[in-house]
């Protein structure tokens, strides 16, 4: 069996993994990033929307940007439209080509000195004296041991790395948003606005979206809570009905399926010699399902903490908890608010949602963010939303 040695092994070549690898490599560590698929960025399992805050993490290339949107339209069950816009675009400012974007992030990691290796799948973690010391992997060369001072699990919502390390809690159906999406062509949409649709008939305990991708193309998809899925009521069933109703003549270019954790971040995302990042750590806004920026933000923190821990010769869980503490400080409150708001809104009937939409009808909110929308709803419905105000304020 082949044996190799690195300071850090990162499992997963999405934004969380690539930014962690890049950050650690820039601080002089010997880093390898392994990805089980044959190419970084595929298959795409994302609606591809991201806020302009992404520019903090990478200089954008116009080739990766399919569309730039200036706002969003949200439609209640009865069709009432709420328009949000402005410079503070929390969830959607760009619609990306994730294949190109993810490859660029991995290329940045390689430029920083990290080794990027595809078609290499982690098959288990190496443990010694209570510490994670690397991973067992299978590649084109056969089975191998990759030893490292720290292993980073950036392997998505299913995170085998977390399970193998014994720190990843099982997800209940209600903790997951099950998603289906088509990339569609010959479709009539608003090219400068993303659109969202809510209601039990459209997407129970979830929402549908239309994200423009330029040249009369768009990502059209929806997500539903896992506990609402069943025979004849799967995400794909709701998506097909949504498209029959709104875009019956459009063509389908690509089909995408996946799941998003919407339960709030893990209480513990570190162990001796191990850190989980991104979807593996459940770093996703539970209300919107948006997670790219949180993953990249956490990844920068992880890379910095890893570098310091290795330089100090202390890779214990206690030392690595600095990562958890900094993540909570930087974006924990937003994820907590998103979780509470999700639980509140999922308890509402379609009639309740229509009533709330009517209270904002004709108003353009100059900030597309979860917080701004919630505060405006509370302001205009103080009596009805006293429960929500108690939860998030």
| Residues 163-192, mean pLDDT to the nearest whole number | 91
Separation of alpha carbons 198 and 188, rounded Å: 20
Three-state DSSP class for 333? helix
> How wide is the angle at C-alpha 123 spanned by C-alphas 120 and 129, nearest 5°?
120
- Give yes or no for residue 383 having a pLDDT over 80: no
Separation of alpha carbons 324 and 252, rounded Å: 41
> Chain-centre distance of CA 318, in angstroms?
27
Domain ranges of the chain: 2-45+98-171+264-340, 65-74+173-261, 343-392
Three-state DSSP class for 45? coil
Which residues contact residue 335 at a Cβ distance below 8 angstroms, ignoring those fewer than 6 apart? 264, 265, 283, 284, 285, 286, 294
Separation of alpha carbons 355 and 384, rounded Å: 10
Q: What is the pLDDT of residue 92?
A: 64
Separation of alpha carbons 215 and 200, rounded Å: 31
Specify which residues 147 forms β-bridges with.
5, 134
Under 8 Å between Cβ of 37 and 97: no
Separation of alpha carbons 76 and 181, rounded Å: 20
Q: Give the torsion sign (CA, 201, 207, 212, 217).
A: negative
Please tell me the CATH superfamily of domain 2-45+98-171+264-340, with its number. Answer: FAD/NAD(P)-binding domain (3.50.50.60)
Separation of alpha carbons 175 and 289, rounded Å: 11
Q: What is the pLDDT of residue 387?
A: 64
Q: Fold identical between 2-45+98-171+264-340 and 65-74+173-261? A: no
Span 65-74+173-261 CATH architecture: 2-Layer Sandwich (3.30)
Cis omega (within 30 of 0) on the bond before 43? yes
For the chain, give the percent of residues with pLDDT over 70.
93
Backbone angles phi, psi at 190, to 5 degrees: -85, 115
**Which pTM value belongs to this model?**
0.93
How confident is residue 329, by pLDDT bands cut at 50, 70 and 90? very high
Q: What is the pLDDT of residue 364?
A: 65
- Give yes or no for residue 368 having a pLDDT over 70: no
Separation of alpha carbons 41 and 99, rounded Å: 4
- Give yes or no for residue 356 having a pLDDT over 90: no
Separation of alpha carbons 224 and 341, rounded Å: 16
| Burial class of residue 310 (count of CB atoms within 10 Å of its CB; 0-12, 13-18, 19+) | buried
How confident is residue 321, by pLDDT bands cut at 50, 70 and 90? very high
Predicted confidence (pLDDT) per residue in 243-264, tens digit: 999 999 999 999 999 999 999 9
> How wide is the angle at C-alpha 281 spanned by C-alphas 24 and 339, nearest 5°?
135
Predicted confidence (pLDDT) per residue in 62-102, tens digit: 899 999 988 888 999 999 998 887 655 555 689 999 999 99
Separation of alpha carbons 207 and 224, rounded Å: 7
For the chain, the residue count is 393
Predicted confidence (pLDDT) per residue in 150-177, tens digit: 999 999 998 999 999 998 778 999 999 9
């Amino acid at each position: 069996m082949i044996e190799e040695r690195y300071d850090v092994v990162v499992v997963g070549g999405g934004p969380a993994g690539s930014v962690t690898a890049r950050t650690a490599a820039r601080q002089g560590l010997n880093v390898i990033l392994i990805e089980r698929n044959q190419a970084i960025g595929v298959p795409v399992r994302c609606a591809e929307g991201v806020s302009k805050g992404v520019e903090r993490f990478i200089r954008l290339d116009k080739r990766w940007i399919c569309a730039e949107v200036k706002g969003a339209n949200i439609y209640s069950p009865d069709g009432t439209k709420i328009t949000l816009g402005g410079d503070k675009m929390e969830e959607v400012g760009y619609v990306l080509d994730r294949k190109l974007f993810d490859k660029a992030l991995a290329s940045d990691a390689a430029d920083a000195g990290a080794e990027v290796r595809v078609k290499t799948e982690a098959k288990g973690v190496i443990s010694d004296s209570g510490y994670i010391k690397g991973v067992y992997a299978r590649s084109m060369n056969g089975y191998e041991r990759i030893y490292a001072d720290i292993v980073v699990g950036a392997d998505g919502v299913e995170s085998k790395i977390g399970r193998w390390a014994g720190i990843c809690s099982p997800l209940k159906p209600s903790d997951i948003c099950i998603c289906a999406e088509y990339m569609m062509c010959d479709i009539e949409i608003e090219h400068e606005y993303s659109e969202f649709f809510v209601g039990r008939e459209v997407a129970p305990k979830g929402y549908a979206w239309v994200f423009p991708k330029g040249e009369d193309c768009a990502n059209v998809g929806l997500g539903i809570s896992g506990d609402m899925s069943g025979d004849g009521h799967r995400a794909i069933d709701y998506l097909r009905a949504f498209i029959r109703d709104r875009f019956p003549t459009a063509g389908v270019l690509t089909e995408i399926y996946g799941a998003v954790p919407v339960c709030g971040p893990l209480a513990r995302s570190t162990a001796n010699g191990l850190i989980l990042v991104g979807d593996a750590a459940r770093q996703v806004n539970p209300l919107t399902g948006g997670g790219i920026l949180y993953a990249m933000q956490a990844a920068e923190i992880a890379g910095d903490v890893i570098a310091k821990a290795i330089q100090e010769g202390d890779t214990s869980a206690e030392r690595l908890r600095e990562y958890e503490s900094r993540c909570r400080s930087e974006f924990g409150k937003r994820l907590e608010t998103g979780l509470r708001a999700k639980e509140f809104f999922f308890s509402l009937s379609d009639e309740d949602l229509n009533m709330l939409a009517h209270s904002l009808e004709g108003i353009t909110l100059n900030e597309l963010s979860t917080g701004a929308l919630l505060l405006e709803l509370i302001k205009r419905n103080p009596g009805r939303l006293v429960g929500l105000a108690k939860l998030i304020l």
